[in-house]
Amino acid sequence: MNHWPEGVARPAIRALHTAELYKLEDLKNVDIKSLQRLHGIGPKALSALQKAMDEKGYSFKSE
């Protein structure tokens, strides 16, 4: 079962799982700069994650 939004490719999903992030809700405990540093997370994945977070009313952790 894929818990990630469309636009998040497999390399990005692997990077998220390596960081022990398994669903969108987990990203509420992470700041964007930390995500950007993960190998496999690029601009497209960040954009898709940001959009999905906004749609759910979630926000990333403040830096």
pTM metric for this prediction: 0.90
The residue among 24, 18, 22 whose CA lies nearest residue 50 is 24
Pure H helices in the chain:
10-18, 32-36, 43-56
Examine the pLDDT at 7 and tell me if it is beyond 60. Answer: yes
Examine the pLDDT at 55 and tell me if it is beyond 90. Answer: yes
Examine the pLDDT at 6 and tell me if it is beyond 80. Answer: yes
Place of tokens 């398994």: 22
pLDDT band at 2 (very low <50, low <70, confident <90, very high): low
Examine the pLDDT at 1 and tell me if it is beyond 70. Answer: no
Instruction: Give Cβ neighbours of residue 35 (< 8 Å, ≥ 6 apart).
Output: 27, 41, 46, 49, 60
19-22: long-range pairs with CB below 8 Å, 24+ = none
Examine the pLDDT at 21 and tell me if it is beyond 70. Answer: yes
